[in-house]
Structure 1
Amino acid sequence: MPYTSGPMTEAMYYVLLALMNPNHGYKLINAISQVSNGRMQMGPGTLYGVLTRLQKDGLIVIVQDDGRRKVYAITETGKTALKDEYNRLIAMVQDGIVLKGENEDE
């Protein structure tokens, strides 16, 4: 079933990107910072809210739960949704090409 909930939030995008390698909460916070080149700093409250939503939407699953920590992984549906979002963002950047060079005279 394809993801049809519209554009992703920045937090959703980076969580999915970080979950290209399965991970658990604390390490996931660091992975998100790495894949965003430090632009996205996510706290535990935000992270677990996003994880819950992504799980509900079928974009991620829990692949290991030892009672202390849960390891999450992206699903095939999640990978497709992430690629669709990536392509949407690329198209938006390309649409904004008219802005390139606008401030060069200043």
Structure 2
Amino acid sequence: MVGLSDLGRFSEPALLILISLAAGPAHGYAIQRDIAELTSERPGPGTLYGAIRRLEEHGYIEALPALERRKPYQLTTAGREALGVELRRMRSVAARGLTRLGLA
């Protein structure tokens, strides 16, 4: 089954990177900035590029040709599928939790 759980401690940064790249190709700094807008927290370079490396190794993202010293990345088909699986799983968990709290 496709999923992000095999990325270990990088699963949350990986999820945020995939969400960022769902809007289109971006380089590391743009991904960092987008994640900061989504979460109010900017991942550090070590966390960001460690997660990017793992996402590339799993085939979820791929690097594009560099543009003026910046290396953009884009989602692959496998990455889009993994992101969809994870977001649907999260939606299901959130819905159940909200129901149990009486907030749904």
TM over 0.5: yes
What pairs with 1:1-106 in structure 2 (closer than 5 Å)?
Answer: 3-4=2-3, 6=5, 9-20=11-22, 21-34=24-37, 36-38=38-40, 40-66=41-67, 68-96=69-97, 97-100=99-102
TM-score by length of 1: 0.80
Pairwise CA distance, 1:10: 1.8
* Larger Rg over CA atoms: 1
Give the distance between the partners of 2:3 and 2:100, measured in 1 at CA: 30
Over the residues paired in the alignment, what is the CA RMSD in angstroms?
2.1
Instruction: Report the 3-state secondary structure (helix = DSSP H, G, I; strand = E; otherwise coil) of the residue aligned with 1:14.
Output: helix
Structure 1 stretches of 4+ moved >4 Å: none
Give the distance between the partners of 1:29 and 1:13, measured in 2 at CA: 13
For the Cα contact (< 8 Å) 1:18–1:32, is it kept in 2? yes
Paired residue total: 98
TM-score by length of 2: 0.81
More helix by share: 2
Query: What is the one-letter code of the residue matched to 2:19?
Result: L
Give the distance between the partners of 2:55 and 2:76, measured in 1 at CA: 10
In structure 1, stretches of 5+ residues that fail to align are 102-106
